[in-house]
Amino acid sequence: MRALPLAGLTVVSLEQAVAAPFATRQLADLGARVIKVERDTGDFARGYDETVHGMSSYFVWLNRSKESIVLDLKSESGLTVLRELVGRADVLVQNLAPGAVERLGLGPDEALALNPRLIHASISGYGRGGSYEQKKAYDLLVQCEAGLLSVTGTPEDPAKVGVSIADVCAGMYTFSGILTALLQRATTGRGDVLEVSMLEALGEWMQQPYFFAEYGGTPPQRNGAQHASIAPYGPFDTADGTVFFGIQNEREWAAFCTDVLGSPLLGEHPDFRGNALRVQNRPALHAAILEVLGGLDSVEVLARLDRANIANAQLRSMHDFSAHPQLAERGRWQNVDSPVGRVRSLIPPVTSRETGFRMDPVPAIGQHTEQILAELGLSL
């Protein structure tokens, strides 16, 4: 087995739901020991659904390779164990309600006084300070606050992104921030305090539409699956289904008209010369394209697009994605053990020549409590 780059590091996580568990699972993938502190009822994401042989799809996704310890943090014995864990840890991650970690006596200053090499990472909805600090923040609500729904959906109706995108991007920035802090600590010997808010993390991803609106005078319009500022780009109906493709430049536009539509003259039409005019005249553009594609089946259209080197895609369901030939051909699936049996999971997306990854079991609630207490020489 190839070396795990974070082997030997210990992460203690006061985590729930998606954002913090996503950050710590990636640390676990790279070899860190992640000790997940749960209440007696467990991380509430365990109860989001029961679709994976009785387990939550969220929990299976986010919690492999972790150790679960159940602690009553309202008791002195539970707090003693937690402080002992934090005192020995390299990283503390938490996404509890605002102020909760301070009430446990493990806010940034207290925790670093206990362990000066500790990297203390907090995820919140809106960040410390400001009038929104105490406001509850769920993924959809942060999508609203960051303006994402203003640019996603149809002209008639806004739509949320179909995955927990605010949680995921906050988790990603927490993960990368922790890696950066570990590199810094290797030089300075000191820990650090990291804060990531879901609003600011998603706001980073929203900067292109922000710039477009702030300096262009008008916000991007909701266009369903069509691109707001590029045409043609999006779904187009064929005789037996829908295909997706996108044109990035004038060379591709000319090739599309000639090799896919068989209409080189369309490429010279004055209403469609340049992307700005194609966007402005989108209804007429789409009508001209659909007149040809409506007489062809999807397989033929995709083949023509490939021959013309035009980027394209099929609209796949989750079952289609599960059977995606590219993932199978590259060996991107691996079974992971869990309390309900083996579950087929994607391996981490970053490949390395030098380092490996691990995909150890998803833990049951409190599965490692006795083992961890024995290591500490403590009891509850």
Q: What average pLDDT does this structure show over 179-192?
A: 97
Known catalytic membership, residue 227: yes
> What residue type is 291 in one-letter code?
E
Range of the domain at 272: 233-316
Q: Which residues pair with 345 in a beta bridge?
A: 334
Q: Which of 53, 227, 319, 368 is catalytic?
A: 227
- Give, as one character, the DSSP assignment of residue 274: S
- Mean pLDDT (the chain) is 95
Which tokens sit at 66?
């972790």
Q: In this structure, what are the phi and psi dihedrals at residue 196, rounded to the nearest 5 degrees? A: -130, 125
How many separate domains does the chain show? 2
- In the chain, the percentage of residues whose pLDDT exceeds 90 is 93
Q: Spell out the long-range contacts of 319-323 with Cβ–Cβ below 8 A and sequence spacing 24 or more.
A: none
207-216 vs 198-205: helix crossing angle, rounded to 10? 70
Structural domain ending residue among the three candidates 268, 285, 316: 316
DSSP letters, 59-87, are HHHH-TTEEEEE--TTSHHHHHHHHHHHH
Beta-strand runs (E) in 10-51: 10-14, 33-38
Q: Report the predicted TM-score, pTM, of the whole model to 2 decimal places.
A: 0.91
Question: How distant, in Å, are the alpha carbons of 76, 104, 120, 314, 365 from that of 71?
Answer: 10, 12, 20, 48, 11
pLDDT per residue as tens digits for the range 300-348: 999 999 999 999 998 899 999 999 999 999 999 999 999 999 999 999 9
Q: Give the three-class secondary structure for 286.
A: helix
- Residue 77 scores a pLDDT above 80: yes
Are 80 and 167 found together in one domain? yes
Distance, in Å, from the CA atom of 45 to the CA atom of 56, rounded to the nearest integer, reads 7
| CATH at 90 | 3.40.50.10540
**Among candidate residues 290, 316, 342, the one where a domain is terminated:** 316
Does a structural domain hold residue 214? no
Rounded to 5 degrees, what are φ and ψ at 187?
A: -95, -45
Residue 250 domain flag: yes
CA dist 177 and 155 (Å) reads 37
Beta pairing, strands 242-246 & 312-314: antiparallel
One domain for residues 149 and 40: yes
Q: CATH code at 262?
A: 3.30.1540.10
Burial of residue 320 (number of CB atoms within 10 Å: 0-12, 13-18, 19+): exposed
Q: Does the residue 164 lie in any domain?
A: yes
Q: What is the pLDDT of residue 1?
A: 63
Tokens of 103: 């009430």
What tokens appear for 63 in the block?
């919690």
**pLDDT at 219 (0 to 100):** 87
Residues 22, 94 within the same domain: yes
Taking 80 as the threshold, does the pLDDT of residue 369 lie above it? Answer: yes
Same domain, 302 and 360: no
Helix (H, G, I), strand (E, B) or coil at 120: strand
Let me know whether 34 and 73 are in one domain: yes
Q: What is the pLDDT of residue 226?
A: 87
Q: In the prediction, which pLDDT does 162 show? A: 93
Q: Do the domain assignments include residue 74?
A: yes
Average pLDDT on 43-71 reads 96
What is the DSSP pairing of strand 10-14 with strand 33-38? parallel
**Given a cut of 90, is residue 46 above it in pLDDT?**
yes
Q: Give the phi and the psi of residue 75 in degrees, each rounded to 5.
A: -105, 155
Rounded mean pLDDT of 266-286?
Answer: 94
Q: Residue 195 is inside which H or E element, if any? A: strand 192-197
**Strand arrangement of the beta sheet that strand 233-237 belongs to:** 233-237, 242-246, 312-314
Tell me what the mean pLDDT of segment 74-102 comes to: 96
Helix (H) or strand (E) holding 251: helix 250-255
Of the candidates 103, 105, 106, the one whose C-alpha atom is nearest the C-alpha of residue 118 is 106
Residue 194 domain-assigned (yes or no): yes
Which pLDDT score is estimated for 218?
86
Residue 162 contacts residue 96 (beta carbons within 8 Å): no
